[in-house]
Structure 1
Amino acid sequence: MGRSNRRKGAADQFDSSDTESVSSASTAFSEVTVAHDTEVLNSQDYALDKFIDALYEKRGSTRETALSGLVNAFESNMLSAFVENKCITLLHQFLNSIKKGSTKEACLASRAIGLLAITVGSGNSSHEIMEESLPHLSKVLLSGSDASKMASVLDCLAVVTFVGAIDLAETETSLKAIWEVIHPKPASKVGAPKRPPAVLAAALSAWSFLVTTISAWRINPDTWKEPVWFLSTLLDAEDRAVRMAAGEAIAVCFEIGILNVYSNDESDTDNLDIGDSKRRDFLYMQSMKAKIADRANNLSMEAGGKGTDKKNLNDQRDLFQKIWDFIKSGESPEASVKISSKHGVLRVSSWTELIQLNFLKRFLGRGFLKHAQENELLHDIFDFGQDITESLSTQQKRISSKISSKGRTLKLNKDRKMAQERKGGILLAQDG
């Protein structure tokens, strides 16, 4: 009865007509006032309740507006207390929007589910979110929906599994669903469906994100030969985003031990105390490693033609330079993000951490800093350290900045020199 009354109130605000519905969800969220409603103690909760009630309305545009408002709220605030008793109710409405709504509504709902999981953090609630979402999300992936819906669902599936999975088997279930998008099996003589580059890149990113949660000691290299081979073929894809996503997937495979990146290339396999099949697997992986290293080297030096997007090209060069360095010397990538003077700096120093950071930054968007400051989940995942420059004087900060700049210059010069040497070596080999 109470819900019915609230829904009627929501209808007055959201469903009288499309022209009267809230044109901007973020504006609606910020402008809600309770000056004339003494029963409402918290204007934020009041606005969120209105959005939740609007999810029950029949008009699609009304639900889209409500979803936009909730997504904006999840990004802008830590709503742990608010969703504590509403988690599953919200989830069911979000799933309903994925099943029955427009593409736009389904994309918003997928994002809302991921944000809900990140908000509640690891535990029983996020595990329930994952369990209830998986069948519906997998169905969308099998249906071959349009690119934007597929990409949103892939992101959602990766996030809810990352937060909610409690064992390897659950993670593998999602990995298999995502891999079917990356490398679908032919359903008939017509062959496997060809994925749009945007979908393929999103699937590779989601897959890599989940692979970072797999412990190296649980890996059977024999089962990874086919995936690694297929990933290596994607380094030749026409689309740069696909090439880069495949490169990141391969990098994390190296790091968790699938390709045994730290083994000696000149190992005497005859002396290995292993059977013939394992020796063949070892030699196969070593040849694959050499092939990937050569391709990474070429992509780190790719020339840009007329009309080339220089930023994307530079991003590719930088990524594959890091991959090449890691393959040849085991040098791990490093990155840092300043969160705030209070929370310091978030630092990563491995492919696993870098891929997790980049994925969550992209998924949370403008809400990343807010969640990095207040969300315990992110503090459990990443290393937050003190920003040493905060305690320095102005002159000391200036000196520190110059030293950092000099270090970056030296690193760039080193990379250029190594690239030139590798290029010269390749040309000499071709001349020979």
Structure 2
Amino acid sequence: MAVTMKRRTQFTLYTAANGQSQLAQLSELLDSAHLDVRLAAGESMALVYELGRVHNDDFHQESTPQLADKLRQLATDSHKYRAKKDRKQQRSSFRDILHYVEEGDPPDIQVRFGQEMLALDSWCRKKQYDAFCQVLGSGMNLHLTENDLVRDIFELGERISPLNFAAHKQSKLERHLMNAAAFKARTISRSKNRDKRSAVMTC
């Protein structure tokens, strides 16, 4: 676990230092003719912003408006030459990506399995979950319940028995409330910084 955390920290630092080039390369992929490529590029851009903002709340704020315009086009795409199902999936995904890039709103996805619930409340966690689903398929919920390694990766704690389910549920609620409070504080801080920059530009 310590090695995993160390590698994650190193990757976060690398992203913070090289975010501009990463975003530029990913931006080109948004024009791909293939939906899977566009979606992967968009989610990867959200992940770059998420990791960059760990060290700097204003990570690449100067390039956000141009990127937001591109994301907005994809979030409202109505081109008839795309399949209806593809248009719907693209608009839904890029709305979430746009909200995160512009406002800092993270994913809010809840995965229920048995008596438990996994909160996908960051792009990093969502990408982890998607990767495991591709490998484990329909057995994902079983692994979330029984596989100690998977539970450790998703910070689900020890396997739940009926006796300690109530205590576990309370702990998960407390963690969710703490995450919500932290997100609210970051949003307020980011808003104040934007107001300060606007005031300086006006003067």
Scaled by the length of structure 2, the TM-score of the pair is 0.66
Aligned letter for 1:377? L
User: Hey, what does 1:297 align to over in structure 2?
Assistant: 72
Bigger relative contact order, structure 1 or 2, given CA contacts below 8 A and separation 6+?
2
User: Hey, what does 1:311 align to over in structure 2?
Assistant: 85
**Is the aligned partner of 1:339 residue 2:134?**
no
* Contact 2:15–2:51 under 8 Å retained in 1: no
* Contact 2:64–2:102 under 8 Å retained in 1: no
How far off is 1:261 after superposition? 7.7
How far off is 1:214 after superposition? 4.3
User: Hey, what does 1:253 align to over in structure 2?
Assistant: 48
Q: Give the secondary structure class of the aligned counterpart of 1:219.
A: helix
Give, in whole Å, the separation in 2 of the partners of 1:261 and 1:322. 21
Judged with a 3 Å threshold, the aligned counterparts in structure 2 of structure 1 residues 220 and 254 are, in CA distance, closer, same or farther, namely: closer
**Is the aligned partner of 1:236 residue 2:31?**
yes
What per-residue deviation string (whole Å, max 9, x for no partner) do you get for residues 258-294 of structure 1?
Answer: 698842xxxxxxxxxxxxxxxxxx8xx3443222111
Give, in whole Å, the separation in 2 of the partners of 1:237 and 1:365. 27
Give, in whole Å, the separation in 1 of the partners of 2:25 and 2:121. 27
Q: Which runs of 5+ in 2 are unaligned?
A: 161-165, 167-203
* Contact 1:254–1:261 under 8 Å retained in 2: no
Give, in whole Å, the separation in 2 of the partners of 1:381 and 1:218. 21
User: Hey, what does 1:320 align to over in structure 2?
Assistant: 94
Give, in whole Å, the separation in 1 of the partners of 2:38 and 2:101. 17
Aligned letter for 1:314? K
Give, in whole Å, the separation in 2 of the partners of 1:220 and 1:365. 30
Judged with a 3 Å threshold, the aligned counterparts in structure 2 of structure 1 residues 288 and 326 are, in CA distance, closer, same or farther, namely: same
* Contact 1:231–1:246 under 8 Å retained in 2: yes
Q: What does 1:157-306 correspond to in 2, within 5 Å?
A: 167-168=6-7, 213-214=8-9, 218-219=13-14, 221-257=16-52, 262-263=57-58, 285-306=60-81
Aligned pairs, number: 160
* Contact 1:347–1:382 under 8 Å retained in 2: no
What per-residue deviation string (whole Å, max 9, x for no partner) do you get for residues 331-364 of structure 1?
Answer: 11111122113xx122211111111111111221
Give, in whole Å, the separation in 2 of the partners of 1:249 and 1:217. 13
Aligned letter for 1:370? L
* Contact 1:293–1:324 under 8 Å retained in 2: yes
RMSD: 3.2
* Contact 2:75–2:90 under 8 Å retained in 1: yes
Give, in whole Å, the separation in 1 of the partners of 2:56 and 2:95. 16
How far off is 1:378 after superposition? 1.8
Judged with a 3 Å threshold, the aligned counterparts in structure 2 of structure 1 residues 259 and 227 are, in CA distance, closer, same or farther, namely: farther
Aligned letter for 1:366? S
Judged with a 3 Å threshold, the aligned counterparts in structure 2 of structure 1 residues 379 and 220 are, in CA distance, closer, same or farther, namely: closer
Q: Which runs of 5+ in 1 are unaligned?
A: 1-121, 124-163, 169-212, 264-281, 392-432
How far off is 1:329 after superposition? 1.3
Highest CA radius of gyration, 1 or 2? Answer: 1
Q: Give the secondary structure class of the aligned counterpart of 1:345.
A: strand
Judged with a 3 Å threshold, the aligned counterparts in structure 2 of structure 1 residues 324 and 259 are, in CA distance, closer, same or farther, namely: farther
Judged with a 3 Å threshold, the aligned counterparts in structure 2 of structure 1 residues 229 and 372 are, in CA distance, closer, same or farther, namely: same
Q: Give the secondary structure class of the aligned counterpart of 2:52.
A: coil
What per-residue deviation string (whole Å, max 9, x for no partner) do you get for residues 112-159 of structure 1?
Answer: xxxxxxxxxx79xxxxxxxxxxxxxxxxxxxxxxxxxxxxxxxxxxxx
Give, in whole Å, the separation in 1 of the partners of 2:55 and 2:101. 10
Judged with a 3 Å threshold, the aligned counterparts in structure 2 of structure 1 residues 360 and 217 are, in CA distance, closer, same or farther, namely: closer
Identical residues among aligned pairs (%): 27
User: Hey, what does 2:136 align to over in structure 1?
Assistant: 364
How far off is 1:311 after superposition? 2.4
